[in-house]
Each structure stands twice: as structure tokens, then as C-alpha cells.
Amino acid sequence: MTSADIKVVDGYLVNQVQGWSRMQLLESAGLVAQGSREIQIRATSDFYFGNRFAQYWWKYEAQRGYDPEFVSLVESVLQEVDENRNQQWLIDLRADLASNVDGA
């Protein structure tokens, strides 16, 4: 990855993690149901962290002063995420697109 690529991906990942962190604040304030943060993390982690770069990125990001309970939750969810998920998704998408375009 180029430095420009890393900056773009970093922006997406920071935004996602900040969204997860905001859910913790909303839960604490009683504005969303308890457990909403974990549901959101589980629902989006495959897409954002289904690649090796994002998984390594989290190891460094987790050290930036997040609440230890939050870090523990994210790490437990990410252990279940396949680091090759996005690569396989792109392969499948390309194959499906090629078969539908060629067959049209």
C-alpha cells in the first residue's frame, strides 16, 4: 500500500472506531439500549476489519487511550473476523459480475 492508500484506509477505520466509541457514550447516557454498541461492532466489523491491514492497524490504534473495556470488546469481536474476508468477497464479486456481464 502507498502512503496515500494508508491515509485513506486509516480515515475509514478511525471513523468506524469512533462511531463504536460514540455508541458507548450513548449507552451510558441511556439514549440507546444496553448492548447496542456490541451489536453495532459485530454488525460492521467483518466489513471494516476483514483484511490483514485493518487487523494490524487495530493493534496500534488500541493503544491510543481507549477505555480498556471497549478495547477488550473490540478485540474479542475481531478474533472472530476472518482477515481474508474482504479479499474473498472481492473475488466473488468480480466473478459474479463477470458472469453476469458476459452472459447479458
pLDDT for 13-52, tens place per residue? Answer: 999 999 999 998 999 999 999 999 999 999 999 999 999 9
| pLDDT on residue 103 | 55
> Which residues, at least 6 apart from 62, have a Cβ–Cβ distance to it below 8 Å?
71, 74, 75
Tens of pLDDT, residue by residue over 88-104, are 999 999 999 988 876 55
pLDDT of amino acid 104: 53
pLDDT in the model for residue 1? 87
Write down the residue that cell numbers 475481531 correspond to.
Answer: 78
User: What residue ranges do the domains of the chain occupy?
Assistant: 3-103
Provide the grid cell at 36: 447496542
